[in-house]
Chains A and B, each alone.
Chain A
Amino acid sequence: MNFPIISSLIILPIVGTIFLFFIKSNEKNTSIKYVALFISLSNLILSLYLWYIFDNTNPSFQFVENRQWILGLINYKVGIDGISILFVILTTFIVPLCVLSVNYTIKYRLKDFLIAILIMESLMIGVFCSLDLVVFYLFFEGGLIPMFLIIGIWGGSRRVYSAFKFFLYTLLGSVLMLVAIISIYWISGTTDVTKLYEIGIDQKYQNLLWLAFFSSFAVKTPMWPVHTWLPDAHVEAPTAGSVLLAAILLKMAGYGFIRFSLGLFPVASEYFTPLIFILSVIAIIYTSLVALMQEDMKKLIAYSSVAHMGFVTLGIFTITQQGIEGSIFQMISHGLISAALFLCVGVVYDRNHTRLIKDYGGLVSIMPKYAIVFMIFTLGAVGLPGTTGFIGEFLILMGTFQKSFITAVIASLGVILSAAYMLWLYKRVVFGNLIKDNLKKLVDLSKNEIFILWSLALPTVFFGFYPELLFKTIDVSITNFLEMYEFNINTYLSNKQ
């Protein structure tokens, strides 16, 4: 029996929380932070090692563990392929930064917060690794509990409303998916994803099942018109919570679209592609316009997240090599950039206790270091060549052009709009004259903040110039995935004739 490396990745943070639970801590003693940091860093190292020993040329799932779990019904099955490994590393990479960032943002009940974050990490790694629908559902829904507490306990003034909205919206979306999962079990006799890939699901059920999965993923993505929980949740969550939410939680749905919607229901995906295109385009244009009008920085970035995720869903459902790879790349890039943008907002919020754009202006003259990193991420969000944002959007648009010219043209407008709202935000916050008195006292980034922000900025730029490193990992898996998809569609078409 090989060493169960994926299960260790999932379990390690939970084991860490048990340690944390027994450490005495109070408001002044922050040594507990280092314990959490140590746990999350060791998880990062473990996942990097996993990436190192991961076989790029092998299209099937690797490091698979399969154990009996629920008697005679469900097996606990986890494993990774080129698609999931990047999300796992994104998760393990973001969590230590979240832990580092608690210094300024979490003023009370630090221990509980760290425990919540680490449990969250376990569950999210579980989502990306699970190869069984029920196991997936377990991790997917389990994440609601810590996130509800993170928003509700450490959030801003309207935190209760936001926490409830977040919880109930996502739960409502997900229960239909549970019905679909159980139906799949009775239709196909298994919930094992790899087996389902092989035997397929009866065509006559696919449309309904696809819609049930869609209801869950659309809420989590979030897609227009069920995106309204996101700005509320983001605005009220503490910085570290927003980072987790934007960087990783939103990616669960994108990942789910690829792995489950496309993989399990190819015929239905083909059928519903126009729907996704329309919703994505509306999301891109509409939320970009909404973002233009925001007065709250965090809300603006939250709406920009919806627009960026619109690109992701658009790319996934082009069902082309470029589109899907672009979407995955866009998700990774958005994970880095939006996380960093929320941290940037957090930096000034901790100093000045306001998130309104009009309360700022001219920060460049007193916070030059801040201005530099903020600019990098602004340009990344705009999609400037040389950052990861560009490559993702470019590939997605390339994929879209192959499928639908008009969609691609409208979606391209979104790129312009994103430049408009991001640069305008940057101009109003950082440029201009420093006239407000309370801003004159602000201090520039501390070492801790510099470290966090630059460790996000470096990969953003690095992968912008050298995306090959990531594509090498996902290429074979995606090619294989699309071949399987084409095969399923063709068998369906030949059966029909």
Chain B
Amino acid sequence: MINLNFVFSEIFISISIMFLLILGVFKNRSSNLIYNLSILSLFIILISNYNLFGKDELTIFNNSYKIDFLSIFMKFLVIASGIFVMLSSSKYLKLNKIYKIEYPILILSSILGMMIMISANDLIVFYMGLELQSLALYVLASFNRDNVLSSESGLKYFVLSALSSGLLLYGCSLIYGFSGSTNFDQISANITEVQYGLTLGIVFIIVGLAFKISAVPFHMWAPDVYQGSPTSVTIFFAILPKIAALTVFIKFLYVPFVNLIDQWQIIIIFLSIASMLFGSIAAIGQQNLKRLMAYSSISHMGFALAGVAVGSNEGIQSSIIYISIYLMMNLAFFSCIFMLRRNNEYYEKIDDLSGLSKNHPILSISLLISLFSLAGIPPLAGFFAKFYIFMAVIEEQMYALAIIGLLSTVIAAFYYLRLIKTIYFDKELEKYDTNHNIGLRVSLAISTIIILLYFIYPSSLLAIISNIKVI
């Protein structure tokens, strides 16, 4: 008998999606109710997921679904950031007239897809989860359908993402053909020697996954989609799919293919270096904040991949710490962007930040903290994220990766400084509105305080994450 307690979160969220959909169809003007109920159901699965911490790891459904510390922790991150994203974006949706019942339901479906991806221990289950989250994301990207940019971004994301899913599926079939199984543990047991078919399959899957986390050279969709989508979706794009895809990266490379590390390590190192450098350099010329954040997230993913490329438990842990801190910094930054509102219109150009510190000192301080943290300047959390990564990288004596990475942080520092310069040194504009909803304020306050005070007690996160042992 399968103990369904361990998949309670997934079951509960599926039921609430269906329930909310029916409720939305039959009850008029229920978008507010559904939005709040979705947040509530996320809270419930957050708690039920929290209760799983400390339990032994186990696999269910014929070994195709695995509940271990890694998956519990990453699901926790996904759900928690989902709650923050929803809390912070409700007013934005209302003012842009996209506060519809489908929106929270799509968000819930894509979170469900991510949870399945994270726990998958089988290529088919993993693909199913991936497609569920992607399908929801295509719609979300073009959710503001009257806006040309939003429609464009949805279409672009759909076409390119479908292509990458195709590649990924082809890779899965190659691996099935050469190893005789779709189960991760089985594949690992069946692989005895290096076969070109397997290597090819790994490459295809890495390409597919690199596309999902927008690593160079598979990043082309990111800037357009980030810019075109509604900001509430951009923040979602910037955080949640990255967490899920990074987990899959880790599980996929280190569970079935850990013995083939010589085959894939160099690819990951290349992806990492290319993303770090390209993301930093390309961001310099940007004028739009969302587009800038797209490039910034590309370079941040490069750092997270550097941890994955190391090939040790420390490397994996460091990249998980990186993604946890990254999500906090992005949450803080996008919450600040949500606050750039004047007469019910949102602003997203760099020039709109001009002289912000004169009229909005607290908002500016939050931006300052999140930007310096994104740039990785001590003593803010972003520095520790990079510090752990380089600890792991240098332990394996990959000095070239470390030095290129650190030099790219200097380049990246330039464009973060440019924002700070605009905020603090330039002439002020008109005041922005200050009547923000409480959810947005809370998520900004929490994320900023965590970034600022992380240095006082950095062990807390480290102690949790050091339980994650994949190899």
Contacts and interface: CB of A to CB of B under 8 A. Distances in A.
Interface stretch (B41-49, B175-183, B399-407): B399-407
A183 B410 contact: no
Contacts of B414: 164, 168
A227 B88 CA distance: 46
Interface string A64-90: 000011111100000000000000000
Contacts of B211: none
A153 B409 CA distance: 24
Contacts of A138: 378-379, 383, 455
B37 interface: no
A163 B413 contact: no
B101 to A, nearest CB: 43
Contact of A137 (B378, B403, B407, B421): B378
Given A153-B425, A163-B421, A167-B417, A175 B406 contact: yes
Interface in A167-184: 167-168, 171-172, 175-176, 178-179, 182-183
Given A168-B414, A175-B407, A179-B399, A70 B377 contact: no
Main secondary structure of the interface of B (DSSP, over half): helix
Given A148-B417, A175-B407, A160 B425 contact: yes
Given A69-B458, A138-B378, A186 B417 contact: no
A141 B387 CA distance: 13
Contacts of B255: none
Nearest to B455: A138
A37 B462 CA distance: 39
Main secondary structure of the interface of A (DSSP, over half): helix
B424 interface: yes
B52 interface: no
Interface stretch (B230-238, B259-267, B390-398): B390-398
B421 A70 contact: no
A142 interface: yes
Interface residues of A, number: 35
B5 interface: no
A54 to B, nearest CB: 27
A159 B407 CA distance: 24
Nearest to A175: B406
A383 interface: no
Nearest to B422: A160
B9 to A, nearest CB: 29
B466 interface: yes
Interface string B274-288: 000000000000000
A164 to B, nearest CB: 6
A142 B361 CA distance: 21
A152 B424 contact: yes
B471 interface: no
B406 A159 contact: no
B413 A167 contact: yes
A68 B413 contact: no
Nearest to A134: B387
A70 B403 contact: no
Interface in A132-161: 134, 137-139, 141-142, 144-145, 148-149, 152-153, 159-160
A70 B413 contact: no
A149 B421 CA distance: 9
A168 B421 CA distance: 14
A349 interface: no
Nearest to B403: A179
B424 A172 contact: no
A165 B223 CA distance: 29
A197 interface: no
Contact of A176 (B361, B406, B424, B425): B406
Contact of B417 (A72, A137, A153, A164): A164
A185 interface: yes
B372 interface: yes
A351 B455 CA distance: 44
A179 B406 contact: yes
A71 B420 CA distance: 33
B413 A171 contact: yes
B1 interface: no
Contacts of B455: 138
30 contacts: A69-B458, A69-B459, A70-B458, A71-B463, A137-B378, A138-B378, A138-B379, A138-B383, A141-B377, A141-B378, A141-B383, A142-B377, A145-B372, A148-B417, A152-B425, A160-B421, A164-B414, A167-B413, A168-B414, A171-B413, A175-B410, A179-B394, A179-B406, A182-B387, A182-B390, A182-B402, A183-B399, A185-B391, A186-B394, A186-B395
Interface of A: 68-73, 112, 134, 137-139, 141-142, 144-145, 148-149, 152-153, 159-160, 163-164, 167-168, 171-172, 175-176, 178-179, 182-183, 185-186
List 10 tightest A-B contacts by C-beta distance, closest first.
A71-B459, A175-B406, A138-B378, A182-B394, A71-B462, A141-B378, A172-B410, A152-B425, A70-B458, A142-B378
Given A163-B417, A186-B394, 4 more contacts: A138-B378, A152-B421, A172-B407, A182-B387
